[in-house]
A and B are shown apart, each in its own frame.
Chain A
């Protein structure tokens, strides 16, 4: 029951986070900006639109939105947000999360190649390039975290724990990884539709209408999951007992944490420029080094 509630809450609140970041960015740039609810309007619009499917596309193109959505929903199920120990935690751990995201990405990249458009191919190639460089850094972050909490299970570090140097560095590395995984500046730019610079947007270029809406929802949820993980590592507090005041307090604290990370990401996005693709390797190399530092700190016990 709690799982279903969590999933629904995830789907419902994930677009809000994106809207919030866009709003903060716009305000930082001295613009009025669109409403925080704009992502919802976009989704509603997409659902009511006709869908164009490329004539060269095969069934891969048609099933991809469902595979992508279901992979992030399973991932959302694995992490304990409103419950101390997710009842679903027996399905998999932090490492499984990585592989599940890989499943969605694999299909998205294939569907991009499926339409015979060079933009899709370019997007697929770059996305796979970036994601393969993300993996080692992410692996080290998981190692650093699990060395501290004794298990790769996500519920292991969702309880109350003290903040250590290792978890701060790990969270920083995870932040860089998140920028890459959720296609944000300086790795990618969600706002651009300039063909030669987009990565994620190029992959989903051929999608429209309902299918695009599903893929968008999936990427909002993926973003929320990554933000949640960072928040959990750096501002740790879990739900201790089930009484109502605690749940309300915890929910507010949850929103505040996500808000803080949203502000950080928005600040990063307005203050740095997008990198060339081949400098992304250096950027993720830095995340990898941070991962090593976090691991060393975890080994030293600080």
Chain B
């Protein structure tokens, strides 16, 4: 079993190289960002520790995606989880960090347990941990076993990816880490789980039946909607971004699940195309979520708070951070011509292409999935209007925001690199797709030399020779040209002058930041519309001086975390109950314990004799 020490343990196929690229694209700007970010936050020794952990973290992720052996994969997977745990609890003085770390480590190990179980079943069949040996053995595997292995992988990797309802750790753990680590965790680490799904389910195991794809699609849609709806309710800027990771993992899994769905139907072109869409969104999400977390970190560093209700007006104090956040927000809201738009358009197009190529009820199923994706993208746009508008625009809502200053150079450089990448990945879409086609083809084991992938020529049905096109550079060009034309009209035809004056206040003349719209108010329509899921409740308290005069009034509103309350809390209660009843056989008498050992020994001897 230890022969891997002498053998080549690395695998650099296009899929691995793609994930390596994703890891380094986000990690390098985060590293640059960390120099000034950590300065002054922690003592010098701790900063050194943080950098060592960062390197270990990035290295472990890089190794996870580039080994060719399940056992070594598991070792690095575990290393990645442990190092990231240490980074989550890095702020040791903060009780919240310790709690978040505990939830994280428990959930991630539950996931790992499922992955280990799956590997054991695979090893039982293949008698090897080597990827290719298992891949060969999988062709002869009974489909019942395959189904079980698939479910084990889905739960195991799904926990790490944060798909609903296994997402519970994500909004706790990601915000608690230092911001550049959050950016790597949200941007990259959860993507290693997607790597796991593509590598082990699609590449090694091979898609077996069509319900795999359907199941992944349904889970993905639920993740999208739950993620974005919780994000809308969230006012902690980093936790808001963490919930958006749940949503975006859902969008990535839509591409992946759709690809599985098409493989089972033998639609190989569409399978490759859907995986391209998924992978494109994966790298896009890594970039814009990385950027957004870095911006959130800058806001936190400059103001000392993550509560957006206390912020506001930062666009004037931190113009560069605001501009970067705006680019990230536009990208995640899928606004043209940035990168998020391209990948969401591709995913929608994949659904549409699928809907016209499959038969019967599947058409409607894919159509409804596409509609839910459209809803998600609308809600995400609303959420980022809130996140950007409340944080950066209008008047400062507290002294935290008033005293903010633009962050130091290395932080700005880190953000700038990612912002530029967002624009590049938006405009050079045609090129990126050609590269991703190779990755996608090799991951699925489909020969793509006879297929052509570009942003042109999407024909839904071959009978009618009408194709669809998308060209982001030309789109961007026309947007700029028309913007300039608008400006020229504005300058030439407008004769009046511009006056700077107070915002209209109904003649009240005392408008201050307390009159501004808040994030809670902004999300109110959504809270009401989705009340069947969010189960909001509010507390109002009136303190009266007399019957007629109210001295003070307080209003609080919360939403119920359905999954925590109805799934995780009951399970936790049950675990504690079981533990309590188990304590009865552990009264502390050494004689009894010796008796246990003896009985165990006896049972084992009988067991060995029997088999």
| Interfacial residues, chain A to chain B (CB-CB below 8 A) | 47-56, 58-60, 65-67, 69-71, 73-74, 77, 88-93, 95-96, 98-100, 102-103, 105-106, 109-110, 113-122, 124-126, 128-129, 131-140, 142-143, 146-147, 149-153, 155-156, 205-206, 209-211, 213-214, 277-278, 281, 288, 291-292, 295-296, 299
Find out whether the CB atom of B470 lies under 8 angstroms from the CB atom of A91.
Answer: yes
Q: Report if B526 contacts A (CB, 8 A).
A: yes
Cβ contacts under 8 Å, B547 to chain A: none
Find out whether the CB atom of A209 lies under 8 angstroms from the CB atom of B494.
Answer: yes
Find out whether the CB atom of B486 lies under 8 angstroms from the CB atom of A50.
Answer: no
A114 to B393, CA, bound (A): 5
Among A98, A134, A156, the residue within 8 A (CB) of B464 is A156
**B525 to A, closest residue via Cβ:** A129
Among B382, B395, B463, the residue within 8 A (CB) of A56 is B395
Find out whether the CB atom of B525 lies under 8 angstroms from the CB atom of A90.
Answer: no
Q: Report if B524 contacts A (CB, 8 A).
A: yes
A115 to B502, CA, bound (A): 9
> Contacts A99-B335, A113-B393, A147-B355 known; A93 to B470 CB distance under 8 Å?
yes
A-B contact list, 18 entries, CB within 8 Å: A50-B497, A51-B496, A53-B498, A70-B483, A74-B482, A90-B469, A91-B470, A93-B469, A99-B334, A103-B336, A120-B517, A121-B518, A121-B522, A129-B525, A132-B382, A135-B374, A153-B467, A281-B529
Find out whether the CB atom of A210 lies under 8 angstroms from the CB atom of B493.
Answer: yes
Find out whether the CB atom of B394 lies under 8 angstroms from the CB atom of A143.
Answer: no
Report which residue of A96, A122, A153, A211 has the largest number of chain B beta carbons within 10 angstroms of its beta carbon: A96
Find out whether the CB atom of A110 lies under 8 angstroms from the CB atom of B335.
Answer: no
A49 to B469, CA, bound (A): 42
Cβ contacts under 8 Å, A70 to chain B: 478-483, 485-486
Cβ contacts under 8 Å, A213 to chain B: 494
Find out whether the CB atom of B503 lies under 8 angstroms from the CB atom of A110.
Answer: no
> Contacts A96-B345, A102-B334, A118-B515 known; A146 to B483 CB distance under 8 Å?
no
Among A52, A126, A137, A153, the residue within 8 A (CB) of B525 is A126
**In angstroms, how far is the closest chain B Cβ from the Cβ of A99?**
5
Cβ contacts under 8 Å, B360 to chain A: 299
Q: Which of B485-541 contact A (CB under 8 A)?
A: 485-487, 489-490, 493-505, 511, 513, 515-518, 521-526, 528-529
Find out whether the CB atom of A116 lies under 8 angstroms from the CB atom of B495.
Answer: no
> Contacts A143-B370, A153-B468, A291-B371 known; A55 to B348 CB distance under 8 Å?
no
**A150 to B, closest residue via Cβ:** B464
Cβ contacts under 8 Å, A54 to chain B: 500-503
Find out whether the CB atom of A116 lies under 8 angstroms from the CB atom of B371.
Answer: no
Which of B32-40, B51-59, B406-414, B453-461 lines the interface with chain A? B453-461
> Contacts A52-B501, A74-B475 known; A147 to B470 CB distance under 8 Å?
no
Find out whether the CB atom of A136 lies under 8 angstroms from the CB atom of B461.
Answer: no
Q: Report if B313 contacts A (CB, 8 A).
A: yes
Find out whether the CB atom of A149 lies under 8 angstroms from the CB atom of B466.
Answer: yes
Cβ contacts under 8 Å, B503 to chain A: 54-56, 115-117, 206
Find out whether the CB atom of B370 lies under 8 angstroms from the CB atom of A99.
Answer: no
Q: Report if B377 contacts A (CB, 8 A).
A: yes
A269 to B288, CA, bound (A): 42
> Contacts A113-B393, A116-B511, A143-B352 known; A55 to B489 CB distance under 8 Å?
no
**A218 to B, closest residue via Cβ:** B486
A88 to B475, CA, bound (A): 10
**A98 to B, closest residue via Cβ:** B374
Find out whether the CB atom of B496 lies under 8 angstroms from the CB atom of A210.
Answer: yes
Find out whether the CB atom of A60 lies under 8 angstroms from the CB atom of B501.
Answer: no
Cβ contacts under 8 Å, A53 to chain B: 498-501
9 additional A-B residue pairs with CB within 8 Å, beyond A125-B521, A140-B367: A51-B497, A91-B474, A116-B395, A117-B511, A121-B517, A133-B529, A205-B504, A214-B486, A277-B525
Q: Report if B79 contacts A (CB, 8 A).
A: no
Cβ contacts under 8 Å, B516 to chain A: 116-118, 121
**In angstroms, how far is the closest chain A Cβ from the Cβ of B319?**
8
Cβ contacts under 8 Å, B490 to chain A: 65-66, 210-211, 214
Q: Report if B214 contacts A (CB, 8 A).
A: no
**In angstroms, how far is the closest chain B Cβ from the Cβ of A153?**
5
A71 to B476, CA, bound (A): 10
Find out whether the CB atom of B469 lies under 8 angstroms from the CB atom of A92.
Answer: yes
Find out whether the CB atom of A56 lies under 8 angstroms from the CB atom of B352.
Answer: no
Find out whether the CB atom of A143 lies under 8 angstroms from the CB atom of B355.
Answer: yes
CB contacts between A and B, total, < 8 Å: 295
> Contacts A116-B511, A117-B505, A118-B517 known; A151 to B467 CB distance under 8 Å?
yes
Q: Report if B315 contacts A (CB, 8 A).
A: yes
A110 to B335, CA, bound (A): 14
Among B330, B466, B525, the residue within 8 A (CB) of A150 is B466
Cβ contacts under 8 Å, A132 to chain B: 375, 378-379, 381-382
**In angstroms, how far is the closest chain A Cβ from the Cβ of B280?**
15
Q: Report if B147 contacts A (CB, 8 A).
A: no
**A93 to B, closest residue via Cβ:** B468
Cβ contacts under 8 Å, B382 to chain A: 128-129, 131-132
**B516 to A, closest residue via Cβ:** A116
A247 to B301, CA, bound (A): 63
Find out whether the CB atom of B515 lies under 8 angstroms from the CB atom of A116.
Answer: yes
> Contacts A110-B385, A121-B521 known; A139 to B371 CB distance under 8 Å?
yes
Find out whether the CB atom of A124 lies under 8 angstroms from the CB atom of B522.
Answer: yes
Q: Which of B200-221 contact A (CB under 8 A)?
A: none
**In angstroms, how far is the closest chain A Cβ from the Cβ of B147?**
30
Cβ contacts under 8 Å, B468 to chain A: 93, 151-153
**In angstroms, how far is the closest chain B Cβ from the Cβ of A57?**
8
Among B313, B471, B489, B515, the residue within 8 A (CB) of A91 is B471
Cβ contacts under 8 Å, A69 to chain B: 482-483, 486
> Contacts A48-B495, A50-B496, A129-B526 known; A110 to B389 CB distance under 8 Å?
yes
**A60 to B, closest residue via Cβ:** B393
Find out whether the CB atom of B464 lies under 8 angstroms from the CB atom of A90.
Answer: no
Find out whether the CB atom of B461 lies under 8 angstroms from the CB atom of A150.
Answer: yes
Cβ contacts under 8 Å, B363 to chain A: 147, 295, 299
Cβ contacts under 8 Å, B498 to chain A: 50-53, 209
**In angstroms, how far is the closest chain B Cβ from the Cβ of A129?**
4
**A141 to B, closest residue via Cβ:** B371
Cβ contacts under 8 Å, B393 to chain A: 58, 60, 110, 113-114, 116
**In angstroms, how far is the closest chain B Cβ from the Cβ of A91?**
5
Chain B 343-383: CB-based contact to A (< 8 A → 1; otherwise 0): 01100110010011000100110011011111101110110
**In angstroms, how far is the closest chain A Cβ from the Cβ of B388?**
6
**B348 to A, closest residue via Cβ:** A95
Q: Which of B317-334 contact A (CB under 8 A)?
A: 326, 330, 333-334
> Contacts A50-B496, A54-B502 known; A135 to B377 CB distance under 8 Å?
yes
Cβ contacts under 8 Å, B395 to chain A: 56, 116
Q: Report if B262 contacts A (CB, 8 A).
A: no
Q: For the complex of A and B, list the 5 residue pairs with the smallest distance between their C-beta atoms, beginning with the closest.
A: A121-B517, A132-B378, A150-B464, A113-B389, A70-B482
Q: Report if B316 contacts A (CB, 8 A).
A: yes
Report which residue of A96, A128, A156 has the largest number of chain B beta carbons within 10 angstroms of its beta carbon: A128
Q: Which of B284-318 contact A (CB under 8 A)?
A: 313, 315-316
Find out whether the CB atom of A99 lies under 8 angstroms from the CB atom of B524.
Answer: no
Among B336, B385, B482, the residue within 8 A (CB) of A99 is B336
Find out whether the CB atom of B489 lies under 8 angstroms from the CB atom of A214.
Answer: yes
A261 to B481, CA, bound (A): 32
**B515 to A, closest residue via Cβ:** A118
Find out whether the CB atom of A106 lies under 8 angstroms from the CB atom of B381.
Answer: yes
Q: Report if B22 contacts A (CB, 8 A).
A: no
Cβ contacts under 8 Å, B489 to chain A: 214
A96 to B487, CA, bound (A): 24
Cβ contacts under 8 Å, B89 to chain A: none
**In angstroms, how far is the closest chain B Cβ from the Cβ of A28?**
31
Q: Report if B270 contacts A (CB, 8 A).
A: no
Q: Report if B421 contacts A (CB, 8 A).
A: no
A191 to B220, CA, bound (A): 42
Find out whether the CB atom of B496 lies under 8 angstroms from the CB atom of A146.
Answer: no
Q: Report if B129 contacts A (CB, 8 A).
A: no
> Contacts A106-B333, A146-B460 known; A56 to B496 CB distance under 8 Å?
no
